[in-house]
Amino acid sequence: RWPSLLKYYSHSDGVSWLEEYKARHSAGLEAQRIVASFSKRFFSEHVPCDGFSDIETLGCPSHFFEDELMCILNMEGRKGLTWKYYAKKILYFLRQQNILKNLKEYLQRPTERQSFLEGAVLIDQYCNPLSDICLKSVQAQVDDITEKVRKVLRTKNPRHPSLASKAGEVLIPEVELQRQVLDAMNCVLYEQLKYKGNELDYYNSLNSYIHQVLIRRTGIPISLSVLYLTIARQLGVKLEPVNFPSHFLLRWCQGKEGSTDIFDYTYIDAFGKGKQLTVKECEYLIGHHVTEEFYGVVTSKEVLQRMVGNLLNLGKRESTDQSYQLLRDSLDLYLAMYPDNVQHLMLQARLYFHLGIWPEKVLDILQHIQALDPSQHGAVGYLMQHTLEHIERRKEELGPEVKHRSDEKHKEVCFSIGLIMKHKRYGYNCVIYGWDPACMMGHEWIRNMNVHSLPHGPHQPFYNVLVEDGSCRYAAQENLEYNSEPREIPHPDIGRYFSEFTGVHYLANTELEIRYPEDLELTRATVQKIYSSGKE
């Protein structure tokens, strides 16, 4: 019934399958109950931090609960959009909590037991919790590359110690034998498998995720270095990570082990096809001189810090993702490693405040900042005051505003909820999820958007639309037209408002229909009129 659960059982286990079935069935019912409740509870706001509290105290095995959520997400067809939307949010939360717990356990281990590859996988998993990423699978792919290197090595030196069954457990002391390993690695990675630094699309977040590096065979200096270092160590060559500015490197000792002389090392550029560099060539690489401290080895925690820092910078750059998910995820990771970093705590508080989510958590962060650094009282006080005002306004909300088309003030509203539209000026496709009889934005927005230049200005209906690029916009009626070729709108929030895509329009879910009770019939009538007989 649930084949994806097989991995949790061993053939040697004495299992009561009836009891397991009952437990999985009960977990499924509980998951469905919770998912169904989320739309009603959280339609008007972002799911709050305490919104997941009943999930954290589940009375059933978490893997059974997750399996039901995956069943919901994998439902075929264009129905159940709201269930899928909230199942995804719950699954995202559950997996991230589990990964964060694993990361904290990893950081508490002795340094020698902190695998660079495992750290990279944990970051990858946290930023992609719905993807099927596991250390075992990634390690198997790395092992496969290692075997290819051994095959090349065998043709060059059949008696090489790296070919022994326990190779990797013992480091190879001779520099020349180490060089043979690195030459074979460069042959396999860069000539046979065509790995390369992604110069053309350097700032793509996929370059930072180790499972994507293995799939796409491209990455940035630090992700390729983690792969290169891992393979080398499995073949008995000790390479060490170097936190070089602007370009992450590895170092290979040519002198006495543990030497503090930077000239006793050769530096390896995994981004540059494994090229071996001198100190002077490292400076040519970045175009300026650096002090000796930048040639020193760094810990696995510092490597993860730099990987997360890269993602943080990408999260700040992303302009299309209005939820700032990458920035939020990378901030979570950074603060898991450095929970008292005031700069990043303040960034997190400002981000949540900007998004209008989790005001109670914002207050907790601000109080923590104030305790760590009282000199921040100005910025903390400002945010705290406005956050408390936000909480008070939320308490005063009387419930959903219901808009009836029969009201005289709504007579100019031509379009209805769920219709697929096209913007006349910008050409984007979108779906309507809300409307106002006139522009309800402030004077500054109206001025910035040059609304007064429109023939009807702000005194015309305006529509809330979900756009195919993932953004949400507020469009004037005169700028919208029916889409002659309606298609699904790939927007992350589509399930928040709609339960189904019929092929030509969206059906509002229960909560949206409560707010626009007369729109559904109008949408159906409009669609029948426009798209009947397959003609506009």
At 67-108, the pLDDT tens digits run 999 999 998 888 999 999 999 999 998 999 999 999 999 999
> Quick one: pLDDT band at residue 15, thresholds 50, 70, 90?
confident
- From CA 527, how far away is CA 536, in angstroms rounded? 10
The pLDDT of residue 45 is above 80: no
What confidence tier does 529 reach under pLDDT thresholds 50, 70, 90?
confident
> Chain centroid to CA 269: how far?
28
pLDDT of amino acid 51 = 66
Above 70 in pLDDT, residue 50? no
pTM, entire model: 0.88
The strand ranges marked E within 264-419 are 265-269, 275-277
pLDDT at 394 over 90: no
Question: What pairing do the DSSP bridges indicate for beta strands 196-197 and 218-219?
Answer: parallel
Q: What's the rounded mean pLDDT across residues 38-63?
A: 74
**One-letter amino acid for residue 243 of the chain:** N
Strands lying side by side in the sheet with 249-253: 239-242, 249-253, 265-269, 275-277
Helix (H, G, I), strand (E, B) or coil at 114: coil
Task: Using CA atoms of 99, 104, 108, 113 in order, give the dihedral in degrees to the nearest 10.
Answer: 20
- For 247-293, the pLDDT digits (tens) are 999 999 988 888 899 999 999 999 999 999 999 999 999 999 999 99
Compute the C-alpha angle 367/370/375, nearest 5°.
160
22-26, 46-50, 203-207: which has the minimum mean pLDDT? Answer: 46-50
**Residue carrying the six token digits 């499924």:** 28
Helix (H) or strand (E) holding 466: strand 462-467
Indicate the average pLDDT of the chain. 91
Average of pLDDT values for 478-505?
Answer: 94
Average pLDDT over residues 449-463: 95
- Determine which of 253-257, 389-393, 529-533 has the lowest per-residue pLDDT on average: 529-533
The tens digit of pLDDT for each residue in 153-197 reads: 999 999 999 988 666 667 888 999 999 999 999 999 999 999 999
The CATH class of the 408-531 domain is mainly beta
Delimiting residues of CATH 2.30.30.390 domain(s) in the chain: 408-531
